[in-house]
Amino acid sequence: MNQSKLNKLLSKLPIAKMKYFDSIGSTNDEALAWAANDAKDLSLVIADEQTAGRGRLDRKWFTPTGTALAFSLILRPSAAEHPHLSRMVGLAALSITDSLLARGLSPQIKWPNDILLNGRKVAGILIESVWSGENVDCIVIGMGVNILKGAVPDRDVLLFPATSLEDALGYPVERAEVLHDILAALILLRPRLRTDEFMAKWVALLAYRGEQVQVEMGGEGAVIGTISGLGTDGGLQLRDQSGKSLIVQFGDIRLRPFA
Ligand code: BT5
């Protein structure tokens, strides 16, 4: 990958501006700084390697050189999008799953921000915001996708099993083509963010639907329940042991027997 090849490949998409780095700490950090400055809607930061890639709750995200996609897309939400910002993680997830479905794969979304292939994590999403007073000015959508086998970290550093597109397909794929497809899917889906059809598409790809899971909510304890769907804001809807429906806004799904 390099800036001019990527510019050419993405030339038919309405990307405002792109910054490519051979190596960077975190594309989200670069995008947040750019967003706080003068970045336009649909500005893109992409790196071949990240040396300080981040997951949620300051977890590490590994992006070894030459093997993965690591990029951050800056959105300046329109007034119509503002009431639906909590759905942005769904927009990102569905953009990745669309690009995988188009390659004949069967992805699932492990709520809230993981994409699975064959029950293993192939991609992660990190959404961050830049505020202006009380309002969200920009959303940074960070995506890390394991494209080649070499992108998959060693088991001992993982909370959950991981895989790559190459593992799932049995042959290597071109990183830049996957990038193009994810961005094209996101641009196409974005106008449907507020629709019921968008939510239905998201729910249809949820992993472990109908299964009992434990959702750990950081310092706020854990709940056990059967996944039944999503709330209108993208929260995870569960049915607890007494049959009561509840919605969880953040957390990590653990499978029984809750390893
Ligand atoms: C995520 O967090 O999955 C969000 C990852 C977002 C990464 C992108 S890359 C571009 C942009 N710039 C950044 O700095 N970040 C974004 P979370 O759900 O908290 O999962 C983190 C956990 O995933 C780690 O604790 C590891 O167990 C695992 N992990 C780390 N690297 C991985 C990889 N390459 N493949 C699969 N799992 C990984």
Structure token digits, residue 179 = 């990038």
Q: Cβ < 6 Å from ligand 1: which residues? A: 26-28, 50, 53-57, 59-63, 70-72, 113-114, 121, 124-126, 142-144, 146, 151, 153, 158-159, 162
* Closest atom of ligand 1 to CA, residue 160: 27
Average pLDDT, the chain: 96
Please write the tens of the pLDDT for every residue from 215-243: 999 878 999 999 999 999 999 999 998 99
pTM, to two decimals? 0.97
With a cut of 70, say whether residue 69 has pLDDT above it. yes
Residue 133: CB partners within 8 Å, gap ≥ 6?
none
Please check whether residue 234 is in contact with residue 90, taking contact to mean a CB–CB distance below 8 angstroms: yes
Distance of CA 55 from the midpoint of ligand 1 (Å): 4
| Percentage of residues in the chain having pLDDT higher than 90 | 94
Predicted pLDDT at 50: 98
Tell me: the pLDDT tens digits for 180-199? 999 999 999 999 999 999 99
Q: What's the gap in Å between 70 CA and the centre of ligand 1?
A: 10
Distance 60 CA to ligand 1 centre (A): 6
Residue 199, sorted as left (phi over 0), alpha (psi -120 to 50) or beta, turns out to be alpha
d(CA 41, CA 230): 28
Atom 37, ligand 1: which residue's CA is nearest? 162
What confidence tier does 1 reach under pLDDT thresholds 50, 70, 90?
A: confident
What does DSSP say about strands 120-132 and 222-230: parallel, antiparallel, or unpaired? unpaired
pLDDT at 26: 98
Query: 259 falls in which pLDDT band (50, 70, 90)?
Result: very low
Dump pLDDT digits (tens) for 12-47: 999 999 999 999 999 999 999 999 999 999 999 999
Report the distance separating Cα 137 and Cα 35, nearest Å.
8
How many Cβ atoms from other residues are within 10 Å of residue 66's Cβ? Answer: 12
pLDDT (mean) for 114-123: 98
- Specify the pLDDT at position 257: 62
